[in-house]
Chain A
């Protein structure tokens, strides 16, 4: 089954404690991205990756890092989480970033930073 898998689904952490949210896709997609979803603000892109070892900032990259060492994995790293990073996070993949291709989303990670 084609899917994007995120872990964990839920996470409560304290300010400043480094964390990683994992994302893996089994569709051999070139393009992967991370979004955060907040009430009233919609989906906002954090980082994206065109392919292995190629990453770039999205609209709201501050406080986040990513890596793309393998095609299937695209982890999101919060080096020093702060309460304003409390949000619902989604990883997505597309076969390539052309306009008409479908974005496949993971089930989301609900992060709370206290």
Chain B
């Protein structure tokens, strides 16, 4: 059972457009992280959100944690080719074993010049 569902799985848009990707679950998470993975590299942390309803901004990227802490979204404004990559959400489960991180399958994002 996949605890974290990411959508869309693939997204290809033109430079300058806006987009939103989603990370949804039926489970409540104590925290949620977003990572970006570029081809040939490992995932790199973008942000961690902890409080229900929390919004964090990282330049043109806006991250939101749902009020119920079951979902999160990543919005990119005026996408650029450098935003191309695989975006992964990872949820932290309180009391959920020693690992504490569950990854979604990711959204493959391509920004065309």
A residues near B (Cβ < 8 Å) are 4, 33, 40-43, 45, 48, 50, 56, 58, 90, 92, 97-100, 102-103, 105-108
Contact, CB under 8 Å: A107 / B99: no
Task: Contacts A4-B42, A98-B100 known; list 14 others, CB within 8 Å.
Answer: A41-B105, A43-B43, A43-B103, A48-B98, A58-B99, A97-B99, A99-B30, A100-B92, A103-B45, A105-B44, A107-B42, A108-B40, A108-B41, A108-B42
B residues near A (Cβ < 8 Å) are 29-31, 33, 35, 40-45, 48, 50, 88, 90, 92-94, 98-101, 103-106
Contact, CB under 8 Å: B98 / A102: no
Chain B residue at smallest Cβ distance from A98: B100
Report the bound CA distance from A26 to B82 in whole Å. 29
Chain A residue at smallest Cβ distance from B41: A107
A-chain residues with CB within 8 Å of residue B35 when the two chains form the complex: 103
Report the 4 A-B pairs with minimum CB-CB distance, sorted nearest first.
A99-B92, A105-B42, A42-B105, A43-B103
Report the bound CA distance from A50 to B98 in whole Å. 8
A45 and B99 in contact (CB under 8 A), knowing A102-B45, A105-B42, A108-B41?
Answer: yes
Q: How far is the CB of B59 from chain A (nearest CB, A)?
A: 19
A-chain residues with CB within 8 Å of residue B44 when the two chains form the complex: 105
